[in-house]
Amino acid sequence: LWNQPSAAAAYARAIETATADFLVFAHCDVYFPENWFERLAWEIDRLMLLDPSWAVAASGGVTAAGEVVGRTWDCSLAPLFPENGGLFGKASDGPVPIVSFDEMAFVLRREAGVSFDPLLPEFHLYGTDIALEAERQGRTCYGLDMPLIHNAKPQLSLGSDYVRSYRYM
């Protein structure tokens, strides 16, 4: 979808027209290691057994206690945090309930009936938006240990576009 006013508007429209049971959303600067999608299918099978009414599963997220789950190597953060070499998050034995997540890669279960607020401006905080929507509907979001690589450019400050999203939220 081109020329959309925001990520939330584009993704809400994609959900409306989708026919697949599970929708994968990802940033264009994410590299999926070999067999990532096979692991995703395995993780979704495990998640369906654990919680058949789940809404969203992300490759990285934050629990209510503030713990980061799911492993990501981020080239933009590696120089800023040399002690961990750019690897963030931790492995888990299974799906972990989360309250927010990074939008770099996540899966939405279409049957859960959650969507994005199409009025959320810009291209930020739509992960938080849908996590809150899932919670409002009594659904759960999960962090999965599905390592990936984020080839992001360093961003040392947040711009006015982020502020607009933040104020809307």
Q: What is the CATH number of the domain that holds 90?
A: 3.90.550.10
Contact at 8 Å (CB) between 29 and 151?
A: yes
* Cα angle value 76/78/81 (rounded, 5°): 120
Residue where the block lists tokens 């809150």: 132
Domain-embedded: residue 49: yes
- Residue 91 within any structural domain of the chain: yes
Residue 24 has pLDDT above 80, yes or no: yes
Number of residues assigned to the chain: 169
pLDDT of residue 75: 81
What is the distance between the alpha carbons of residues 33 and 38, in angstroms, rounded to a whole number?
Answer: 11
Distance of alpha carbon 130 from alpha carbon 134, whole angstroms: 6
- Whether 2 is covered by a domain: the verdict is no
What is the β-pairing status of strands 56-58 and 141-143? parallel
> Would residue 1 count as lying in a domain?
no
pLDDT digits (tens, 9 = 90+) for 46-84: 999 999 999 999 998 999 999 989 888 888 777 777 777
Residue 102 covered by a domain = yes
Q: Residue 131: which of 146, 109, 119, 116 has the closest Cα? A: 116
Number of C-beta neighbours around residue 44 at 10 A: 18
Ramachandran class of 35: left when φ > 0, alpha when ψ lies in -120 to 50, beta otherwise: left
Tens-place pLDDT, residues 102-144: 899 999 999 999 999 999 999 999 999 999 999 999 999 999 9
162: in domain? no
What domain count does the chain have? 1
Structural domain contains residue 34: yes
Residue 134 contacts residue 55 (beta carbons within 8 Å): yes
pTM of the model: 0.92
Structural domain harbouring 33: 7-153
Strands 72-74 and 148-150: parallel
